[in-house]
Amino acid sequence: MTDYLVELTPIFRDILDLPDLNLTRQSNANTVEGWDSLAHVNLVTAVQKHYKIRFALGELSELKDVGEMIDLIATKTAAR
């Protein structure tokens, strides 16, 4: 079983330039320093590239935290 949180952590650390970031399923733009709209675009792009998936605009607007992103990634990668 894939541990998406472990895989996402270095992506978030790199994009947000936070080498000590402790990413959790509850992490979101309000709780993580530097997670602004530009960083969000870069995160989404990096995640899509890493997992070779595409998010629909409507899917992205409904994501409230990393946990929901993980659930969506799991759904999309399972559908391949």
pLDDT, averaged across the chain: 95
**How far apart are alpha carbons 26 and 65 in whole angstroms?**
6
Q: Is the pLDDT of residue 80 over 80?
A: no
Question: Please, what is the Cα angle at 55 between 20 and 32, to 5 degrees?
Answer: 25
pLDDT class of 42 with cuts at 50, 70, 90: very high
**How far apart are alpha carbons 30 and 46 in whole angstroms?**
20
- Mean pLDDT, residues 47-70 taken together: 95
* 52, 15 Cβ separation under 8 angstroms: no
- At 2 the pLDDT is 81
- Mean pLDDT, residues 49-68 taken together: 95
- Mean pLDDT, residues 61-71 taken together: 95
